[in-house]
Amino acid sequence: MLIAVLTVLLTVGVIHDFLSTPRRRLIIATTTSLYDTGILEEIERAFEERHPIDLHFISVGTGLAIQHAKRGDADLILVHAPSMELAFLREGYGVNRKIFAYNFFVIVGPAEDPADVEGSNVTEALKKIVEAGRLNRARWVSRGDNSGTHLKEISLWTIAGFNWTALRGESWFMESGTGMGRTLLVANERGAYTLSDIGTYLRYSSERLIELQVLVDEAEELINVYSAIAVDPRVVSNVNFEDAVTFIKFLVSEDCQNLIQEYMRDVYGRSLFYPAVKLLKENTDPRAAEWIRNYAYFNGTECPPQYRYNYPELYDDR
């Protein structure tokens, strides 16, 4: 009986200590493709149950997320544009980059598929869309917002032999200038093709907000990799660096990686996002791991040593 009473008192004491601990604030600038799917709400709930830290998200494209971080308006960024991430590190603003998830971009369009792209590879599909667009049979909606998705789109047009800046001047080529969800709504309204991350597409499609269909999917060129990067406190003053690292550690923890794997899986019949930590560590899917390394590693690693600050336990190659 005494042991039971002591156990209850200890449990109550732990809960009281947790509830009475002043809660700190961590500001995270995040890409809209993470925010629009709702997964960050689940991650926030799980994280805040374990830590006296309140998460506050700024949902914008990757380019704007990086600008927020440079100004000191965010302590951490969650982004998916490796070239911009590397520049952020090289300019001295970011440290301790960790890859925590991936999925794929998809080319979506109307069910009638006027450009006949279904079954084509990415390059063939884009060439068909241009041809059909110039014949006034198809339209394309670009994000046009310097986001990670927009940068991916530009790179795909380049691979296909087109210049995005030149294309934007053609009548069939439109720009939404906004986030992924809104871009899908515009494409749906106009009966147009667009590039989307699979997570946002699945959510909007399942909620019957759009009728667009996935026409090109899961190719190496369409890999989409998500990273977390802390803002360097030696360069940007007054950022909450310690809690930013605490959140990064949570993102790559087994609990959070399982959450990412299972999020809405029962609803959509597939994962919106795939956890990346075990994949990269144990090479559990060699093809996907190679695609991620080819696309999102810098000099053979997710974060070169010169861009790491304290916390060596974040990396296995130390």
Residue finishing a domain among 162, 196, 222? 222
Per-residue model confidence (pLDDT) at position 317: 67
User: What average pLDDT values come out for the chain (318 residues) when binned by 10 residues?
Assistant: 51 50 93 91 98 97 94 97 97 98 97 97 98 98 92 96 96 94 96 95 94 94 97 97 98 98 92 96 96 97 98 85
* Cross-strand pairs, 229: 77
* 199-233 pLDDT tens trace: 999 999 999 999 999 999 989 999 999 999 999 99
Helix%, strand%, coil% for the chain, nearest 5: 50, 20, 30
What pLDDT is attached to residue 135?
98
How far is CA 217 from each of CA 122, 232, 256, 260, 295, rounded to the nearest angstrom?
A: 8, 36, 26, 20, 17
Q: Indicate if 151 and 47 belong to the same structural domain.
A: no
Q: What is the pLDDT of residue 4?
A: 53
Is 267 domain-assigned?
Answer: yes
Q: Are residues 216 and 265 in the same domain?
A: no
Please give the pLDDT value at position 3.
57
**Residues recorded for the chain:** 318
Residue 111 shares a structural domain with residue 196: yes
Q: Angle formed by the axes of helices 241-251 and 254-262, to 10°? A: 60
CATH of residue 185: 3.40.190.10
Q: Are 94 and 114 found together in one domain?
A: no
- Domain housing 288: 22-103+224-314
**Listed residues 222, 253, 282: the one ending a domain:** 222
